[in-house]
Amino acid sequence: MITAVDLRAGMTFIQDGKLIKVLEASHHKPGKGNTVMRMKLRDVRTGATYDTTFRPDEKFEKAHIDTKTVQYLYTMDDTGFFMDLETYEQYEIPTENIEDEMKFILENMEVKIQFYGSEVIGVQLPSTVVLRVAETQPSIKGATVTGSGKPATMETGLVVNVPDFIEAGELLEINTSEGTYQKRAGK
């Protein structure tokens, strides 16, 4: 069992027979009354997301999630195809269940898929990925790191705010948990 105050983003628990993944979790202390845990949750099986609050002492059954390293192959007809590199077994995941994660995944990239028992429930990304800038405004001569930045569309369609000196075609390291620019990774 796990209490609501111990739930963090990325954790999975069982509530009313449903498999629920925590997308965001924060303490909230209203002006009057008791502290509550504000949560943004996703039903793993249906993909539905919703916001809710829990008392910090509420208890939930923690779901035991296993992971396996696989290679992302391709997407076809709203389904992502992944392959186990040892057994060559293929797994299919509806893209609506991994919509946010797909913004960080390129073909042939290795990721971990998550299992609840024998059921494939999602994708676990590495902490950072390297993506190429597909489109951005031209760099500004004399731009510094401290500038306000500009939006850049990555090759996966992800839009990230980057420093003004970044140009199209550059490889950037992107933090997958926050979707933010970390540093240049080459050309």
Distances (CA, A) of 2 to 12, 61, 64, 77: 10, 6, 12, 38
Q: For residue 50, give both structure tokens.
A: 């919703």
How many residues does the structure list for the chain?
Answer: 187
Nearest 5°: CA angle at 14, between 105 and 48?
50
Task: For residue 173, give both structure tokens.
Answer: 């390291």
Please state which of the four CATH numbers 3.40.960.10, 2.60.210.10, 3.40.50.2020, 2.40.50.140 is assigned to the domain occupying 128-186: 2.40.50.140
* Edge-first strand listing for the sheet containing 59-62: 2-3, 59-62, 12-15, 18-28, 36-43, 49-54
Is 185 in contact with 155 (CB distance < 8 Å)?
no
Each as own residue / partner, the long-range contacts of residues 54-58 (CB below 8 Å, 24 or more positions apart, any chain) are 54/4, 55/4, 56/3, 56/4, 56/5, 56/27, 57/3, 57/4, 57/5, 58/3, 58/4
Domain with CATH 2.40.50.140 in the chain: 66-124, 128-186
The CATH code of domain 66-124 reads 2.40.50.140
Q: What are phi and psi of 118, to 5 degrees?
A: -100, 0
Going residue by residue through the chain (187 aa), what tens digit of pLDDT does each one get?
Answer: 888 888 888 788 888 888 888 888 888 787 777 788 888 888 887 777 888 888 888 888 888 888 889 999 988 888 889 998 889 888 888 887 777 888 888 888 888 888 888 888 888 888 888 888 888 887 666 555 556 778 888 888 889 888 888 888 888 888 887 888 888 886 5
pTM of this prediction exceeds 0.85: no
CATH topology of domain 2-62: SH3 type barrels. (2.30.30)
For the record, the structure tokens of 78 come out as 């709203």
